[in-house]
Structure 1
Amino acid sequence: MDLSKMMETILNEESNEKKMSEKQKKVVVAAIEMFAEKGYAATSTSEIAKRAGVAEGTIFRHYKTKKDLLLSIVMPTIVNYLAPFFAKNFVNEVFNDKHATFETFLRTLIQNRYEFAKQNFPSLRIFMQEILYQQELREVFVTQFQKLIYPKFTVIINHFQEKGEIVDLPPNTVIRYLVSNVIGLMVHRFIISPSDEWDDETEIEQTIQFIMKGLKRE
């Protein structure tokens, strides 16, 4: 989903009391683009105003500080759209299917998140850059993960441990190991080195095999 369609969906889901003016929408879209390109700290409100084609005072009529603007973008995106919508889609697409092997599940999981990252790069990049510094974002992410994804993850892990496919470690340990490797791949691909020449299929396959070697029961 491209940026304009994503923002249209988010803004249309706002209640009537929270409907944004056209200028406010332009500010939000410009801020997402610039935060994604330059990072939150390196972006000024004057730059956002210039890209949005509005006076800088327009921004401060709606948002007291730049952080308020950030949270008005990222929090609704996560709370109202990305977290519930994509977490539920993630569960339906990955966890609710019957997987013959743990490797099949892992492959589906990584490919699903890889496509998600590619399609939602601007907003995702802002989120990944700021989650370490913004407690509000961490709390929302943890809540959504624990509510929608963690229980399904645990069922999958227990299932394949009972089948003897993966090591008999606590589900929390397996989840941490798996998620840290998958997120590490995404961060390098889309945040640290997005301009490098990437062979996505090879990188995904190598990540799968690396995780399987660590989890496979001998």
Structure 2
Amino acid sequence: MTGEEISIEFLLEEDELTDKQKKILVAAIESFSEKGYAATSTNEIAKKAGVAEGTIFRHYKTKKDLLLNIVAPVMAKLVAPFVIRDLDKVLNKRFDTFEDFLRAMIENRREFIEKNGQIIRILLQEIPFQPELREQFKEHVATRLFERFTKVAVYYQEKGEIIDIPPLSALRLTASSIIGYFIAKYLIIPESEWDDEAETERTIQFILNGLGKGTK
């Protein structure tokens, strides 16, 4: 396991789970990632895990309970530490320009998503529709990164590279553009032939033309 890659096996080793619970965990992650939470039945998960459907309900009262008690801990214990540690590669470095920062951030996140597709796909699919997962994400990821991203925005405003708007607004506009690119690429039309280099540049120029001060 590398510093950039989430390992489900690592989680299984750390948790005191029975063999059947481990199989259910892996099957749930695979199924939710492939079909989405709403389109996945507990019967499908049970078949994939090689257990009786009743075994799932002995541990989890409902499918929603399964999502929250399996996927949410995966996010809390594995995704958050790896997301933050991997982002440190960008956040701990002072880039000469806001454009350089944006390019490094997009490339860093794209590599991370491609290496950890199943878990990230579940989060992108379900966080907007599951309040409990959204709270987990806010607690373990968003709040820990908010202050650091805000400091980045202030830094480039002081350099005269970002227009004078509240840092929170700069963060929101930047994040929505980058996340929108990833949602389109990995969720909405993943089958399309994506020119990542060109899309990265288009995303950067879109942000700069709205936020940049005296940029191209």
- On whether the aligned pair clears a TM of 0.5, the verdict is yes
User: Offset of 1:85 from its aligned partner?
Assistant: 2.9
**8 Å contact 1:166–1:216 — kept in the other structure?**
yes
Which 4+ stretches in 1 moved above 6 angstroms? Answer: none
Equivalent residue number for residue 6 of structure 1: 7
SS in 1 for 2:17: coil
Equivalent residue number for residue 174 of structure 2: 178
Equivalent residue number for residue 190 of structure 2: 194
1:22 corresponds, among 8, 19, 36, to 19
User: Offset of 1:179 from its aligned partner?
Assistant: 0.5
CA deviations over 1:75-130 (Å, ceiling 9, x no partner): 1111111113322331x211101211111111111111111111111111111111
Provide structure 2 residue ranges, at least 5 long, that are not aligned to the other structure: none
CA deviations over 1:6-60 (Å, ceiling 9, x no partner): 211122232xxxx111121111111111111111111111111111111111111
Provide structure 1 residue ranges, at least 5 long, that are not aligned to the other structure: none
In the alignment, does 2:199 pair up with 1:203? yes
In the alignment, does 2:74 pair up with 1:97? no
C-alpha separation between the residues in 2 aligned to 1:208 and 1:21? 47
CA deviations over 1:157-195 (Å, ceiling 9, x no partner): 111111111111110110010000011001001111111
In the alignment, does 2:110 pair up with 1:114? yes
**8 Å contact 1:49–1:55 — kept in the other structure?**
yes
C-alpha separation between the residues in 1 aligned to 2:170 and 2:14? 36
RMSD: 1.8
**8 Å contact 1:88–1:148 — kept in the other structure?**
no
**8 Å contact 1:164–1:217 — kept in the other structure?**
yes
SS in 1 for 2:129: coil
Calculate the TM-score normalised by the size of structure 2: 0.92
Aligned residues: 212
CA deviations over 1:142-165 (Å, ceiling 9, x no partner): 233443211111111111111111
Identity %: 51
Equivalent residue number for residue 162 of structure 1: 158
Calculate the TM-score normalised by the size of structure 1: 0.91
1:140 corresponds, among 136, 142, 145, to 136
